[in-house]
Amino acid sequence: MSLQDIYQEILLAHNENPNHFEFMLDATHQAYGNNPLCGDEVTVFVKIENDVVKAVSFMGEGCAICKASSSLMTSTLCELSLPKAIDKTQQFIQLLSDTSTQIPDDLGELEALLGVRKFPARLKCATLAWHAFLKAITDEHR
């Protein structure tokens, strides 16, 4: 377990300059997620058209892991069909929470978050936005 495992360059870059870190005026769905024990909070905005995720953005305050993971999520889920996006989200949460899960080879940049598996205290930070995404698309907010 070393610091480089968790604070990879790519995560630090996303923390510094997150993707889609903005309010979405024309979101079709949104949800707020927070971790009451540590204070991380994000709001995830989603735009869905014809069962396709057209855009994802987020706002909020959190640690580097939380912010970088949210940022990576917004790009990962974009342009996926809704069922595919749900699948991907659930798989990713499973991958981080259960260290016995086989690591798929199509992770792309998300691979940078695998270090979190060695830091159980940070699991909630890394999955907060992903849980909020699931909440957004199941709650019918407009």
Partner 1 sequence: MQAFNVQHIRENFPALSFCNAKGQRIVYLDNSATTQKPYCVIDALIDFYQRMNANVHRSFYEWGNRATEAYEHTRTSLSKFIGAQYPEEVIFTRGATESINCLADIVGQRYFQQGDEVLVSELEHHSNLIPWQMQQKKCGIQVKGWPVDAEGNLEVSTLQALLTPRTKLLAVTQVSNVLGTTPDLKNIIACAHANGTLVLVDGAQALAHLKINVQDMDCDFYVGSSHKMYGPMGVGFFYGKRKWLETLPPYHGGGTMMESVFMDSFTAAGIPKRFEAGTPPVADVIGFGKAIAYLQQFNWQSLMQYEESVIVYAERMLCAIPRVRLIGHPKTKTAIVSFLVDKIHPHDVATIVNDQNIALRAGHHCCQPLMHRLGCKGGVVRVSLGIYNTFEDIDRLAEAIDVALTVFKS
* Binding positions for partner 1, rule: CB under 8 A: 2-3, 6-7, 12, 16, 37-41, 61-66, 119, 121-122, 125
Which residue type occupies 99?
A: T
CB of 91 to partner 1, least distance (A): 25
CB of 78 to partner 1, least distance (A): 26
CB of 92 to partner 1, least distance (A): 20
Nearer to partner 1, 66 or 95 (CB): 66
* Rounded Cα gap, residues 27 and 47, in angstroms: 5
CB of 106 to partner 1, least distance (A): 28
Q: Are 115 and 55 in contact (CB under 8 A)?
A: no
Longest dimension (CA), the chain: 44
What lies within 8 Å, CB to CB, of 5 at 6+ separation is 115, 118
* Rounded Cα gap, residues 80 and 52, in angstroms: 6
Nearer to partner 1, 42 or 48 (CB): 42
